[in-house]
Amino acid sequence: MDVDHKSSRTAMAETVFGIFVIRKEGAEPGDDPADVGIILEGVDVLDELGNVPFAVAMLLALVYALNLSYPPELKYTFEAQQKIIMELDGNKLSSKAQTLKTLLSC
């Protein structure tokens, strides 16, 4: 196990919510990833998802299905994603999310 792989595994184990993307060595930015997956509470719960947009949708589905709370430091990120981008329960926005929605509407 090389140092980069070991530090990546350590970082993944400490991740509360996350999407990981693994690229093949020497891959160009536009190349398909070798793997895309989801981490919840340090555990790799889904992998081989194919692309990041699908992983984002699956992460939100897991949050709903498992009735998880958003991590406090990501509260507004997930709120914007859920209520503005996906238009789920968009009538109840925090002031920060409402400001973002207004700015995006211009």
Indicate if 55 and 33 belong to the same structural domain: yes
pTM of the model: 0.74
Q: How far is CA 36 from CA 21, 58, 61, 66, 71, in A?
A: 5, 11, 16, 20, 21
Average pLDDT across the chain, whole number: 85
Q: Which residues of 73-105 are buried (b: 16+ CB within 10 A; e: fewer)?
A: eeeeebbbbbbbeeeeeeeebeeebeebeeeee
Residue with tokens 């406090």: 72
Domain count within the chain: 2
Residues of the chain with pLDDT under 50: 1-3
- pLDDT at site 1: 40
Q: Encode pLDDT of 73-82 as tens digits.
A: 888 888 888 8
Indicate if 17 and 33 belong to the same structural domain: yes
Indicate if 54 and 86 belong to the same structural domain: no
Take residue 90 and report the two structure tokens written for it.
């968009």
